[in-house]
Amino acid sequence: MAESKPMNPLEMLAYVLSRQINDHEVVYIGTGLPMVAGILAKKTHAPNITFVYESGGQDPIEGGMPWSVGGPETYRKSPMILEMPYSFGQAAMGLVDTGFLGFAQLDMYGNANTTMIGGEFTNPKVRLTGSGGNNDVASLCEKIVFVGIQSPQKFVSKVDFITSAGHLTGGNARQESGLLGQGPVAVVTTAGVYDFEPDTKRMRIKTLHPGVSPELAQLASGFELVRPEGEIPVTEIPNEEILELLRNEVDPQGFFISMPGA
C-alpha cells in the first residue's frame, strides 16, 4: 500500500506549502505542486479557502486536480465565471489575499524569472514560458508565496530577467515603484521556509527541514541567506494521515508528488 512508503521531498514541499495557506482566504494558485498544496490545505486546516483562476474560473466545487488553469476543474459548478481582465482586477482592487508562484530563478529580494536564461533576449540560452499571469499575480495580490526546488542555479544573486517584481532592490523599493500589496512574504523550497527581513527585505531563513543545516541551505543558494537570531526551528513534517491524503485523494496518479524514476 502507498502509505507505507517514506515521505519524499515533493510530498514534503506540498505539505509545507499547504501550511502557508490561511483559512478563509481567497487564493490564486497555479497548476502543479502549488495546486497539490492548495487542495491539501482545503482538505485539512483551511476548508474555507476560495480558489480563483486567471482564465475566469472562481470557487469551483471539489473535483479532480486541475491540469490547466483554464480547465473544467477550475470552474466546476462555479456560481459565476469571470473573464481574465476582471480576474486580475479582483486582485488589484483588494479581493485576492495570496498568490502562489513558481520560479526558474529567484533573487534575495523575491524577484522571479520565468522568461529566459542567458544574457541576450534575442539569443537566449533558453527561452522559458514567459510571464503568463505570474507578473500580474506578483504585482497585484496582497501577499505572494514562492515555491520551488532550491539550488545555486535557481537562487541567484541576480535573475537574468525580472518577470515578476518582488521587493525589487529591497527596503522601500517596492512601495516606491507603485506596485500594490506587500509582495513576497514567504518562500518554500526543498531546503526550508524563508521569510523577508522587515527593513532590508532580504530573504531570511525561517525554518529548515529536518537534516538541513544553515550551512547546507547556504550551499544551495547563490546569494547570502540572512540567518535569524537564535535557534532556527525545524520545519514540521507531514504525518501518516497527511501522506495518505496526498497519495490517495489529492494526487492519486502521483503526477506532481512522485519522484522521477521512483
Partner 1 sequence: MSSFQFEYNQEAVKNLKIEDTSILDRLVDYRHARDVRHKKDHSQRDKRMSLSEAVSEFVQDGDILGYTGFGYVRTSLQSDWEIIRQGKKGLQSIGSPNTCQSYGVTFGNTPYTHASYAGAEMRGYDKYFSENIKSGAVKILSDWSHGLMGLGFKAAQLGLPGVFAKSGLGSDLVNYNPYLKVINNPMVKNGDPCVFVPALCPDITFIHVHAADMYGNARFYGPAVNDLALAGATRKLVITAEEIVSNTDIRWNNKGVQIPFQNVDAVVELPYGAVPGYMPGCYYWARRWWEKTFAMMSEGQEAMEKHVREWILDTKDTREVLKKLGGIDFMINQKRLAKAAEADNEDSGVEFKYEPWTPNTPPDVFD
Q: State the catalytic residues.
A: 54
Binding span for partner 1 by CB under 8 A among 61-69, 186-194, 195-203, 243-251? 61-69
Beta-bridge partner residues of 50: 26
Binding span for partner 1 by CB under 8 A among 147-155, 174-182, 201-209, 232-240? 174-182
170: contact with partner 1 by CB under 8 A: no
Tell me which of 143, 154, 174, 247 binds partner 1, using CB under 8 A: 174
Torsion angle of the four alpha carbons 85, 111, 161, 134, in this order, in degrees rounded to the nearest 10? -20
94: contact with partner 1 by CB under 8 A: no
99: contact with partner 1 by CB under 8 A: no
Q: How many CA atoms lie within 13 A of 18 on its CB side?
A: 28
Whether the CB-CB separation of 235 and 16 falls below 8 Å is answered with yes
Site for partner 1 in 100-129 (CB under 8 A): 115, 121-124, 126-129
Beta-bridge partner residues of 116: 127
Backbone angles phi, psi at 212, to 5 degrees: -105, 115
Which secondary structure element, helix H or strand E, spans residue 51, and what is its range?
A: strand 50-52
Site for partner 1 in 26-45 (CB under 8 A): 31-32
135: contact with partner 1 by CB under 8 A: yes
Tell me which of 16, 46, 69, 250 binds partner 1, using CB under 8 A: 69
59: contact with partner 1 by CB under 8 A: no
Question: Cell numbers at residue 152, please?
Answer: 545555486
Nearest residue (CB) to partner 1, 61 versus 234 = 61
Whether the CB-CB separation of 27 and 38 falls below 8 Å is answered with yes
Whether the CB-CB separation of 219 and 149 falls below 8 Å is answered with no
Tell me which of 21, 26, 162, 250 binds partner 1, using CB under 8 A: 162
Torsion angle of the four alpha carbons 107, 111, 115, 120, in this order, in degrees rounded to the nearest 10? -60
64: contact with partner 1 by CB under 8 A: yes
63: contact with partner 1 by CB under 8 A: yes
131: contact with partner 1 by CB under 8 A: yes
77: contact with partner 1 by CB under 8 A: yes
Binding span for partner 1 by CB under 8 A among 7-15, 18-26, 161-169, 191-199? 161-169
74: contact with partner 1 by CB under 8 A: yes
| Alpha carbons 112 and 125: distance in angstroms, whole number | 17
* DSSP annotation string for 107-162: -TT--EE-SEESS-TTS-SEE----TTHHHHHHHSSEEEEEE---TTTB-SS-SS-
Nearest residue (CB) to partner 1, 1 versus 80 = 80
Give the contacts of 252 (CB within 8 A, at least 6 positions apart). none
Give contact residues for partner 1 (rule: CB under 8 A).
31-32, 53-57, 61, 63-64, 67-77, 81-85, 88, 92, 115, 121-124, 126-136, 139-140, 161-165, 168, 173-174, 176-180, 252-253, 255
